[in-house]
Amino acid sequence: GAGVSQSPSNKVTEKGKDVELRCDPISGHTALYWYRQSLGQGLEFLIYFQGNSAPDKSGLPSDRFSAERTGGSVSTLTIQRTQQEDSAVYLCASSVQVYEQYFGPGTRLTVT
Amino acid sequence: GENVEQHPSTLSVQEGDSAVIKCTYSDSASNYFPWYKQELGKGPQLIIDIRSNVGEKKDQRIAVTLNKTAKHFSLHITETQPEDSAVYFCAARTEGTYKYIFGTGTRLKVLA
């Protein structure tokens, strides 16, 4: 079946602009994660959604970052007033339970 | 806070040899330990996992061992092949939570 999809695959934006990154999880997966992966680094947790529960936003690095999950499915990560240090690969993952996360291919964000 | 250390950061082996990657976690309440393989331009893919009630798990050429006392877990790849070349990440999750703490990754190169 279809895996986790993310769009766009690449995004180049100018410093100060806002960007939206989209994640389509696997159908039926109630849990959804966003991670950030800087060049040559591990995965940094950003935010977690589970069903209708309030999301855990504790990993968001600043108030310029926000995320929504509409209808328990598609999620959008928004970065306002982008900075060069926001350049990274943003990964989305979904899972049925807390085990076995399935990752999307990521969105490579470059802030110039 | 919780931490996962991963070693080595890079590893080169000859085709057919074995490769071992080691991780150490800090939170003694961690109870789930997945390993991910990330190929260039792709998201991480779960390759094997182990839960704290098991000391070893094997799947064909891949095995994971867990030493709860020492808070160590390791990935073993036998009879390595060029297609095993990738970046490997370990992670740990604590029971009752959904947050994963990732290691910083190991770049494995299998030389033909």
Segment B19-36, tens digit of pLDDT: 999 999 999 999 999 999
A105-109, B95-99, B107-111: segment of lowest average pLDDT: B95-99
Confidence of residue B97 (pLDDT cuts 50, 70, 90): confident
Report whether B58 contacts B49 (CB < 8 A).
no
Amino acid identity of residue B81, one-letter, is Q
- Interfacial residues of B (vs A; Cβ cutoff 8 Å): 6, 32, 34, 36, 41-46, 49, 89, 91, 93, 97-105
Q: Mutation test of the interface with chain B: which of A90, A91, A98, A102, choosing the one with the most B Cβ atoms within 10 A?
A: A98
Minimal Cβ distance to A31: which of B43, B93, B98: B98
B102 contact residues in A (CB cutoff 8 A): 42-43
pLDDT of residue A110: 97
CA neighbor of A24 nearest in space, from A56, A60, A70 = A70
**Contact between chains at B46 and A100 (C-beta distance less than 8 A):** yes
**Contact between chains at A42 and B100 (C-beta distance less than 8 A):** no
Q: How far apart are CA B102 and CA B38, in angstroms?
A: 13
Confidence of residue A109 (pLDDT cuts 50, 70, 90): very high
Report whether A105 contacts B43 (CB < 8 A).
yes
Interface A:B, Cβ pairs < 8 A: 52
- Interfacial residues of A (vs B; Cβ cutoff 8 Å): 4, 31, 33, 40-43, 45, 48, 50, 56, 91, 93, 98-106
- Chain segment B37-83, per-residue pLDDT in tens: 999 988 999 999 999 888 999 999 999 999 999 999 999 999 999 99
How is residue A10 annotated by DSSP?
A: E
Give yes or no for residue A98 having a pLDDT over 80: no
Confidence of residue A82 (pLDDT cuts 50, 70, 90): very high
> How far does the CA of residue B43 sit from the closest CA of chain A (Å)?
4
Minimal Cβ distance to A42: which of B42, B49, B89: B89
> What's the maximum distance between 2 C-alpha atoms anywhere in chain A?
38
